[in-house]
Structure formats: C-alpha cells, structure tokens
Structure 1
Amino acid sequence: NENNALPLKSKGKITVLGQNSVDLVYGGGGSGSVETAKVPDLKTVLTKSGFEVNKTLWDFYQTGAGSSYRKKTPDIEGKGSFEVNEVPRSVYTDKEINSFKDYNDAAVVVIGRSGGESADLATDKLSTGYHYLEIDNNEKDILKLAKENFETVVVLINSSNPMQLGFLDEYNIDAAISVGALGQTGAYAIGEVLNGNVNPSGNLVDTYAYDAFSSPAMANFGNYKIANSQVDKGNAYMVYGEGIYVGYKYYETRYEDVVLGNEKESDYNYSKQVQFPFGYGLSYSQFKWSDYRVKEKDDKYEVSLKVMNTGSVSGKDVVQIYMQSPYTKYDKDNGIEKASVELVGFAKTSEIKAGKSETVTIEVDKEEMKTYDANGKGTYIVDAGDYYFAAGENVHDALNNILAAKGKTTEDGMDYDGNPALVKNFTVDTLDSATYAESAETGHKISNQFDDVDIKHYDSSFKYLSRKDWKGTWPSTFEDGSLTASKELLDDLAISYTEDKDAVMPETGVISEEYGKLNAAMFIGRDYDDKLWDVLLNQLTVDEMTKLVRMGGYATVPIKSINLPGTSNLDGPAGISNTLVGGNKQGMAYPA
C-alpha cells in the first residue's frame, strides 16, 4: 500500500480492468465449486460500498468484445487445461480508452486464477509462454494501460494459490489486496476494504516467492511412473525429497544458515527469493508491541505482549509466536532436520481504537518442542539446547528477532536488524527421549511404524534435503518412467492376499427362525457388538450388500428387505455445492 493509496476516497469513480472482474473466482472446481447464479458480482459490491463503476468497461467485458475472453479450467474429471485468456490490448477501442477520464479516481485490476480437484496446475508453460501462476503478456499490457491512464492503480489477486507477484514492483503498483476465492458472500468485503469501512487484518498462510520453482518441493511435483512395474494403478510414485523443507521452513532456514555463516551468501539470497513471507499482512493503522513476557508453567509456556494502536484509525493486529529448536550434532549425526523457526501460536486482537492498547496472551504447549528421531531413539525426543520463543509480524520478522538475540546484525548478512526484546529463550540441559515416547491418549509406546515405505528402504543411497549440505542434497527431479524398481519394491507393490481356509461363508437372504424378520429401526442405539447385527446382515442378499457399498457415494441406497431408508450424505470443502446437489441448489459456500 504505497503512499497510503488505500483506502480510496469515499464515493470515488473507478474503472475496473481485466476479464476476471466479471468472472471472479468464488471457489474451486469439483466439490469446491460455488453456484455463481446466487453470488454478487464485483460491480454490485463496489456500488454497494459507494463507488461509481465505469459502465463502459463493465459492459465491454460482460457483453461486448471483451466477453469473448474467459479463463478456462479443466472439468470435474480433469479433462482440459487451465488457461488465462485475458483480453488482448488490441481489442480495446477508443470508446473504452476515452471512458477512463470520467472514472479516473483509481483503476482496479483483477488478476484471477482457478484451481480444484482432478487436475494439478501444469508445471509446463501455457500457450502464452508463461506458467499459470505468473502473469502473461496480455495481463502485463492491462497493467501498462492502467499505469498510463490512472494515478492510482490497485490490483486484486483473486486466487487461492500463491502467485508470482514480482509485477507489483516491476510496474510500481500502488496497492494490492489478496482476496482469495470469495465463497458465497465474501466479495462484499472487497468494497468495504477499498473504501476504508473495514480495516484489513488478514495475514498470508503461504510464502510468496518471486519464482515458484525456487522451492525444493517443486523438484518432484508431478506424476511419475515406475519403468518396470506392471501393477495396474500401482506403478505411480512420488518421492518427497524436500523432507520437512516446505514453504517458509525452507526459505527461512536457508536464510538463517547464511547469516550464521553455514551457507555461502553467493548460493542463496533471501531478498531475491521471497517477496512476501508467511504471516505477512498490512493494516490501515500502525501497531507497537511492548512488554513481551514468556512464563514457563508445568506443561506449557504462557506468552504475552502489549499491542498499542499508534495509528489514526481503529484496527486489529495479529500476534504470531514462533519457536526455534536447537539444531545439534546429535541431530546431524542421526538425520534429524530442524527448521529455523516454526509457528507455535497466534492470536488476533479485538478492534483497538487509535491510541489504545490491548494485552494478548498465547499459550504454547511444551509438546511443541518435541521432534521425531527415526534413526536414533526411534521415538519423539526433546533435544538438549536453547529454545527461542519470538514474536513477529510474520515469520521472517520473528527469525530476525531471534538472530538479533544471538547478537547478529545486518553486518552478518541480515536484511534488516531484529528486535531482541521480542525474544525469550529457555535451555534444556539433557536430551529427553522419555517424556513423549508414549502416547498421551493410549499409553502405547511410540516407535517407528513405516520404515518399509520410506524410499531409503529400497534405495539406501537416497538423500533427503538437509541443511547440513543444501547444494549436495538438493532433490533431483525424477523424469517420467526413470525409476527402475528393485525386485523387493515390485514384490511389495504386487496386490496379493492369502485365503483364510477356516473362514465360513455367511448366510445371505435368510430370515432367522429364532428372531423372525428384523428391520433397521430395531437397531437404533443398539451396541455395535450385539450379535443381532449378524442376524440382520444375514437377511441381506449379496446384490443388496453390493449396492449399499457400491452406491455409497454421497448417499446410501434404500433397502426394502430391512426397511433401511435411503439417505443423502453430502459434503464439500467449501460447503454443499451445486456440483454435488444438482438442480441449482446450494448451501452457503465459504471462502477458500
């Protein structure tokens, strides 16, 4: 939000640009879809919030020449592809360009990206020459058009997937808001944030990298086949060579290693890698933190700090608490990986008036300190060493605070100096392999259970990414059909069973002479171990049992012989969608 471009002036006259403006992303594909016949469009919500919207441009995208361009997505079976299809600059006529002067308080450019089940986003470049999570030339032209004609340009990122947003810097965009996928009524928040009635207080749940492919997890993102496997639907594999280093746990950890001198600065430049760190978020107000305290209790740490609103408008702030565990020689010797920081607690304040303050308290369970030691103790341990608890406005801020507490500064390679007053550390004297070695729920001993499904079980030379040697253990990309499996792996992939020769075939389609004909209603509340269940099941025919199981997607079929009523059992990641229900029916769809 450069130079306080937002909020826009009340009752401003604005121009909305981009075909996504009339084709917003409200949800995902498949079961995450949203019935768009019942959702508000962007013009409706902006008008409701007091803005006058350029009708010429709106009609251009809605029914005019721009309406021929709409993003494409795969269908529910995964057929088709993701395409951006932004309106080319050449399609705009003098009529559209001339309309800008009457609605020039701001340009709002909408960048939209979809996603959903049945089809991953392609890692290959699209027909435009760009991959799906970066903007293409037509979108760049829209941004240039906006910058040439408007003093204030705001970009709405209407995507649930983190996009590459380097263009915000490249084109000197004044303000940007990530709105995600909006759900049924979430679009109303856009206008209220733009006009300042709502002070934004959201924070990112992803690291936004300048290059999505800089993440080690991208090395093996795809669908790979085992070259010498003939097992039907059993020859696909994915090797998560990045280990724990996903998202901020990679970017921040490698940054700390540079500052500590364990990694060459020439091999990794954080500022060129990360644009917006995990936990990043802005407000129309400013906040000052003080009185940071961490109290140790029996099974937890109680963290508190004072949040003061030093700005001119009311707002909410988010306090984030991160922990750093020691990365010890024992860890290195036993292949235990530790991220430089991990989120262990957060809380949003109530709305704090300008000049007022609020004390926030967050409890962190001591169990957060445990780590799994697969190769040494074969259970959860708590390492010996120093544990740091830091408050931060985002993950990078918290890590810089920890580095400052260790005496590091920008002279050591930090991108800015941290605040050691927002850090407390506690020391564990000896390695503890007993406290968390038993399940608190069952009392059973916790030990390795999945050694045989680790790729190292079949390939002892395989290396997971390790902060001991970032370059030397960087995941290699598997090509389709490149893995030739050992005989042991092929044998384990084979689908086999051993027939139980003592098994007795149950009766089917038979009414008990002892109990007579039973019906499902008799079993409401009956104990699951009651022997009468077997008697009821005996009444079912094989065909009835098959239908009950086979037709069990989102429903159970009625079975006449036992008076079992049919049921509808719908679900969906964002609510009950029209895709599942059909007939234009839709429950509330929630923002993704």
Structure 2
Amino acid sequence: MVSPFRRRRSKPREPHTIRHSIALTLSTLIAVILVAATVITFHLGVIIDGLLFAPSSIVTDEQKSAIQTKATDLSHQIESEGAVLLRNEDNTLPLSADIKKVNVFGWASTAWMAGGSGSGTVSDWTGNADGIIEALNQAGIKTNAKLTSMYKDFQDGREYTATLRSLPEQSARLYEPSIDDKNYYSDTLLADAEAYSDTAFVVIGRLGGESNDMPRQQYKRTTKGGDIVVDDTRTSLDLSTEEELLLTYVGEHYDHVVVILNTGNVMTLGQLETIPGIDACLHAGLTGTSAASAIPDLLWGKTNPSGRTVDTWAYSLDTAASWANSGLEGVGSYTNADGLYPIGVSNGNLGVEATYDQVSYVDYAEGIYVGYKWYETADAEGYWKDVASEHGNGYEGVVQYPFGYGLSYTSFDWEVVQAPSGSFNGDDTLSMIVKVTNTGDMAGKDVVELYYGAPYTPGGIEKSAVNLAALAKTDELRPGQSQEVTLRFDARDMASYDCYDANGNGFAGYELDPGDYTLTLRHNAHTLDDAAGATVTMSLDFGVQYTEDSVSGNTVGNKFTGSSAVDGVSVDGADSGQDIAYTTRADFKGTFSKNNVPERTLGDNAKKLNLYEPEAADIASADGSSDTIVTGAKNGLKLEEN
C-alpha cells in the first residue's frame, strides 16, 4: 500500500560501504551454522562495528580498505567451509597439482551468480563479481578461452537478473546450446578442447529469488537470439535436455568430470548417478562478489570440503508433502472477492504494468512435514516402502542427498565420551561429548550432528520422527589427530506446540509428552553412526507444559488458531467452512496432498478484515497538504496485546 503521507526530501548521501562489504557474505551466510561460529562472529562483528554504526563521512579510506579486506576474507572462509561435496567417485577430487589447464563447459560458467534476487541480492554482481573463470585464472589454472568465447557469443549474460522486476518465466530462463548443434560446438572446437585438457568442469546455474516461484516448466533459449522454447516435461529445477546431453558428452570424452552447482536452490540431480563418467559434484552455492576464489582451493585439495546440505535433495520434487500447494500451480483464488484488496491494485514486481486480478490463498496442508522432517518421518512410517526406481528401493529411491549430508577427502571416527542416560526433567540441559579422530590421510574438519526423536501417538500431537537438536564442527584435524566436541541443548527444545490439545490433557501450548526420547548421533538426517553409545534412550516420567516464554516470561497462548485467534480468524481455516485437509503422520497415505484446491469461498469473518480502500493510496489530501510523520510518539496504539 502506498503511504498517505508525503516524505520530506532528504539530502542525497553517498552509498554506504556496508552494503557492498556485507554483500560479500550474504549469499552463503546459511553455511555459518556449520562454520567455526566464534571465528565467524568475531570477524563479522568487526565488519559491522566498523561500518554499520559509523556514518560514511567519518570512515576513512584506510578503514574502508581494511574492513573490505576482512569482509573478503570472511566470505572466502564461509565458501570454503560451506561448499558441499555431493559426489566424488573413485576419489577424483582433489585434483592433481599436475592439472594446470581445464575446459569449463556450460553457459552458466560465463554468467556466474554471486547472489539471488530480492532481499538475497548482491550489489552489482552482474558486472563486478568474480566468477568461476576468474577464480580459476587467479589461482593459476588456465581455462579454454575458445569455449568461454563461444558461450558469450551465444548469449552475453542473463536478460533478467532481478526476480522483483520480471516474470517467473523470465528470471528462471535457461540458456544452453545443444552439444549436437555444430553452429556452436563445431568439430574443431570440440577436438581442440580434448587436446587442451582431459579435465572438464560443467557449470550448472539457476537464478531464484523473492517474489517469483521457480516454474514447473522450463523456459529456455537454445539458439543465439532464438525464440524461447518451453519444455513442459521438466521443471526449472531439473536438468534441461541440453544440460543432460552436455553431461553425457563430457562423461564419454574426458577422464575427469566435475559438476559445479552455482545455485541457491535445491535441484533434482539423479542423472549425475545414471550418466556414465560423471565423477564429482561440488555445490558451490552463491559466492558473493569475491568468494568464488575459494573454489579452486576446494577442487585441488588446499581446502578440504566440510559443508553440509541444509535441505533434503530428492530425486523428484513431487515427493515433497508441499508439492501440490507450491509454486504458481499451488495458488488458489477466492471466488467471492470482487472489490477486495488487492484486486485492481498495481503489481510492481513484474517489470511490466500489471494489476492484481484475484485474492489468493495457499493451503499449507503439509503442516510440520517440511524438508527432512517430511522425508525422514515418511520413511519411519513406511511411506516409501513400495518405491522402486533406477536409483534404489524405498527411501534410497526417493532421496539423493539427505539434510546434513556432505563428503570429505578424509575419514573420521567417532567415540562417545559422555552421554546422558536414565530420565530427565523439563528444565534440564542435555549434552553429549564426542571424540572425533581423523582416520584418513588428509587434514580436514568434520561435523557431528545430534538428533532426537520424541514419543508419538497416532492422532496425538504431530511430531517429526527425526529432529536436529545440536551440531558441532571440529577444528581442522591432521591425520591421526583427535578433538572432543560437546553437543548441548535444552530439554525444552524438544517441546512440540499443541494448539489443538491433541493429546487431550487440557493444555494448548508448548509441551513435552511423557515417554521415551531417543538421541542419535548421525552423519546426516538419515545415516546413524555405529559407535557404541551413539543411540541413547531417555525417559520423561511426567508431561511438561511450558506456560511462559523462557526469555520474556510472557504467558504463551494461542494467537492464530481457534476461538482465541487474533482478529477472530483462525489461520488454519478451521472456521472457514472449507474443510481443509492437513497431512497427518497417523495416515500419510490418505492425507498426502495430490492436488491443490483451485477455488475457495472467503469467509465473512475474513472479508470484513480486508480494509483496503483505493483512496488510502492517495498520498495527498484534497487540499494538497499532508500530515507530518512523527516517530517515537506514544499514542496508545497497539497491534496486539499479549
């Protein structure tokens, strides 16, 4: 909604250095959870203290330079420890130091992405960020310039780099000539490439970001300046036909083939296992303006990969419990919304003049069963038992890379030094000490993951069978070196929120059901460690209800569902008369959403809260005057009272 007030025109300011420095780290910041947190926090604190709280006018050039150096170093560290080695057949990686030249295939190698879009964007990344080619060259690795020139001549950069200024079919557009098209891959070019090096990198890139869901179709350009081709058989997060053919070709013609993923999105990558000759795959993610420089160190073994996946990578996206209600196809429309907001209001996110033509809704029918909590719980309940695919049977035929998965160039052994036992109370802090030993022949870091499983009763509180409780990353350990790490969490962290009093104890809020709780050390959300004591069962003799927030001390109560919902509208639609079905662990087979509901009727209680009126968007009153915005005023207004 446009503000009804005018703003005073302020004096223009020079761009603040913080926007550029912090942008170096944003695209891979999620990897911080698996990096040495103390070191990261210290360096990030220095950067923020030096820039965020200091006006640009009093930050000297020397200070800017020093802080930008720290930001560059930090982004390099995050990429070094956050990149995930997904595949490494026959120890193809690390590459030999004798390999000084490589062929870099894939159009995306010439349009390397530093960040996503919307709030995840990185300033000026289309022109000022170092990509994979620059990173390799700076590391002293020569790349096949003829290949790079061909890709740039085919399509010089992305036509759309901002999801907030484009349609989904534009921002998610794919560019790749066919390996069979001699207009691009001439016999001479291919022969010269084989003579240039027996090592091939293939870069796969996907642009995603705020406002635009990734389409369930592929929109791609396969010829220079040609029309956009639509492939309805593959989603934008699947490999394209052209990418698959390219991988097949390099797998046949090169001794060492490494796929590099330049994407912030989970993709479906089953072909990496079925196409012969695909040796390794590194998920580099989005590298900010300079962190691509860490990739050569990872590929040649100067740095040992230690990142872990932060989502489940399935062979097919439609196995997710949220699939039917996701993306453009998952959005429904209220049929009785004429005259309601935002119908008729300008939509400024598409890059073209457009107005909203419906009041939309999305059914979050999957409930808590999102990501690994869906895939692991479904496996625990036998939901995948009848699956048989080219990739495997059961769970192995569904999930390619579990949450928390990542390979290393070395091996580690775990020994449980101390673990909780017996019973526990609701206010306890639980911990496990694990001794990690590098049993391989290369220095590296390991990640120890601790999960819990809470007692579940069919028809009771919905609970995931597997839940991450704590994790710890070691220092870099030399071969034979050991380190003890402590994994610690509060018993309260295992509480479930029971907004429906599903267990029938008369309480709605955060609570622990009585019964047995299982702690398991895992290498990812699916793979248990086999060390003695890696699985621990503890009992809670009596149920625990947490009536107050542990930080504020405020009383915890329902704010969004049932009769106590703020504004009188239950967000789960229970009072809408629409009979919305939610996924339940008690009957995954019967409640898995196969199709979305395209139309619903908006209830009167929700309609009356649609208070938008067109005149509210008029920034000036009839006489041209405007009210002055006063900040910090105490007018007794509250959004909601706890």
Q: Contact 2:102/2:144 (CA < 8 Å) preserved in 1?
A: yes
1:312 to 438, 441, 444: 441
Show the counterpart of 1:325: 454
Structure 1 residue 445 displacement after superposition:
2.5
* CA positional deviation for 1:60: 2.0
C-alpha displacement at 1:146, in angstroms?
0.8
Instruction: Confirm whether residue 197 of structure 1 aligns to residue 306 of structure 2.
Output: no
Q: Which residue of 1 aligns with 2:618?
A: none
Match of 2:432 among 290, 303, 307: 303
Does the alignment pair 1:246 with 2:370? yes
Residue 440 of structure 1 deviates from its aligned partner by 2.5
**TM-score normalised per structure 1:** 0.75
Contact (CA 8 Å) 1:19, 1:69: kept in 2 or not?
A: no
CA contact (8 A) 1:219 1:475 kept: yes
CA contact (8 A) 1:26 1:34 kept: no
Give secondary structure in 2 for the equivalent of 1:266. coil
Q: Deviations over 1:161-217 (max 9, x none)?
A: 000010111213100000001101110111111111111100000100000121011
Q: Deviations over 1:530-572 (max 9, x none)?
A: xxxxxxxxxxx963626x89xxxxxxxxxxxxxxxxxxxxxxx
**Identical positions, percent:** 33
Which residue number in structure 1 is paired with residue 243 of structure 2?
139
1:128 aligns with 2:231: yes
Equivalent-residue separation in structure 2 for 1:5 and 1:264 (angstroms): 32
The runs of 5 or more residues in structure 1 that have no matched partner are 402-417, 497-540, 550-592
Find the counterpart in structure 2 of residue 543 from structure 1: 626
Q: What is the CA–CA distance in structure 2 between the aligned matches of 1:67 and 1:78, rounded to whole Å? A: 18
Number of the residue aligned with 2:192: 99
Off by >4 Å, runs of 4+ in structure 1 = 68-75, 492-496
Aligned residue for 2:600? 483
1:107·1:154 contact (CA, 8 Å) conserved in 2? yes
Match of 1:55 in 2: 145
Equivalent pair of 1:201/1:315 in contact (CA under 8 Å): yes
What displacement does 1:124 show?
3.6
Alpha-carbon distance between aligned partners in 2 of 1:445 and 1:69, rounded to the nearest angstrom = 54
Q: Tell me the CA shift for residue 42 of structure 1.
A: 2.0
* Deviation, structure 1 residue 137: 1.2
Letter in structure 2 aligned against 1:256: A
CA pair 476-491 structure 1, distance change in 2 beyond 3 A: farther
Q: Which of these residues, 526, 541, 558, is aligned with residue 448 of structure 1?
A: 558
Q: SS where residue 76 of structure 1 aligns?
A: helix
- Name the residue aligned to 1:581: none
Letter in 2 for 1:119: N
**1:582 match:** none
Q: Deviations over 1:262-292 (max 9, x none)?
A: x572269211110000000011111011125
* Between 293-302 and 487-496, the greater mean CA deviation after superposition: 487-496
CA shift digits 1:127-182 (9 cap, x unpaired): 13421101111111211221122011100011100000101112131000000011
Contact 1:23 1:70 in 2 (8 A): yes
Q: Secondary structure of 2:450's match?
A: strand
- The letter of the residue matching 1:183 is G
Q: Is the 8 A contact 2:118 2:162 kept in 1?
A: no
Distance 1:107-1:267 versus aligned 2 partners, 3 A rule: closer
The Cα of 1:308 is off from its aligned counterpart by: 0.5
Which runs of structure 2 are paired with 1:552-571 in the superposition (5 Å)?
Answer: none
> In terms of mean alpha carbon deviation, does 217-226 or 389-398 score higher?
217-226
Alignment partner of 1:545: what SS? Answer: coil
Match for residue 492 of structure 2 among 364, 367, 392: 367
Number of positions where the alignment pairs a residue of Structure 1 with one of Structure 2: 473
Tell me which residue corresponds to 2:386.
266
Change (3 A) 1:342 1:275: same
Cα deviation, 1:378-425, whole Å, max 9, x if unaligned, reads 121111111111111100014xx6xxxxxxxxxxxxxxxx66631112
The answer to whether the 8 A contact 2:519-2:536 is kept is: yes
Question: One-letter code of the match for 2:166?
Answer: G
**8 A contact 1:302–1:362 mirrored in 2:** yes
Alpha-carbon spacing, 1:479–1:239, altered in 2? closer, same or farther (3 Å): closer
Q: State the AA in 2 paired with 1:375.
A: Y
Matching residue of 1:8 = 95
Question: 3-state DSSP class of the match of 1:253?
Answer: helix
- Code of the aligned partner of 1:78: S
Amino acid at match of 1:182: T
1:71–1:86 contact (8 Å) kept in structure 2: no
Bigger Rg, which one: 1
Q: What is the CA–CA distance in structure 1 between the aligned matches of 2:521 and 2:454, rounded to whole Å?
A: 15
Question: Cα RMSD (Å) of the superposition?
Answer: 2.4
Q: Distance in 1 between matches of 2:246 and 2:304?
A: 28
Matched position secondary structure for 1:28? coil
Q: Residue type of the partner of 2:300?
A: N
The SS at the match of 2:215 is coil
1:101 Cα deviation (Å)?
A: 2.8
Which residue number in structure 1 is paired with residue 381 of structure 2? Answer: 257
Instruction: Output the CA distance in 2 between the equivalents of 1:226 and 1:119.
Output: 21
Alignment of 1:413-562 (within 5 A): 421-433=533-545, 436-451=546-561, 452-459=570-577, 461-480=579-598, 482-493=599-610, 543=626, 545=628
Give the aligned partner of residue 572 of structure 1: none
- State how far apart, in whole Å, the 2-side matches of 1:266 and 1:241 are: 24
In structure 1, distance between residues paired with 2:402 and 2:578: 35
Structure 2 counterpart of 1:378: 508
Q: Deviation at 1:49?
A: 2.6
Matched-pair contact (CA < 8 Å) for 2:578–2:601: no
2: distance between equivalents of 1:105 and 1:195?
15
Question: Please, which runs of 5 or more residues in structure 2 have no aligned partner?
Answer: 1-87, 220-229, 344-358, 389-393, 502-506, 562-569, 614-623, 632-642
CA distance in 2, matches of 1:391, 1:174: 29
Question: Map of 1:341-360 to 2, 5 A cutoff?
Answer: 341-360=466-485
Partner residue in 2 for 1:516? none
Question: How many angstroms does 1:107 deviate by?
Answer: 0.4
Query: Residue by residue, what CA displacement relative to the aligned partner does 1:453-472 show, whole Å, maximum 9, x if unpaired?
Result: 22122237433101100121
CA-to-aligned-CA distance 1:82-104 (integer Å, 9 cap, x gap): 21111222021122111123332
What's the secondary structure of 2:485's corresponding residue? Answer: strand
Q: 1:361 to 1:239 in 2, by over 3 A?
A: same
- Bigger drift between 216-225 and 36-45 goes to 36-45
SS in 1 for 2:435: strand
Instruction: Give 3-state SS (helix, strand or coil) of 2:164's partner.
Output: coil
Contact 1:382 1:431 in 2 (8 A): yes
The 1-side partners of 2:323 and 2:140 are apart by: 44
How far is 1:486 from its partner? Answer: 3.7
Match of 1:150 among 254, 266, 289: 254
Shift of 1:494: 5.4
Output the CA distance in 2 between the equivalents of 1:40 and 1:264. 43
Tell me the residue number matched to 2:175.
Answer: 85
1:19 is the counterpart of 2:107: yes
Which amino acid counterpart does residue 386 of structure 1 have in structure 2? D
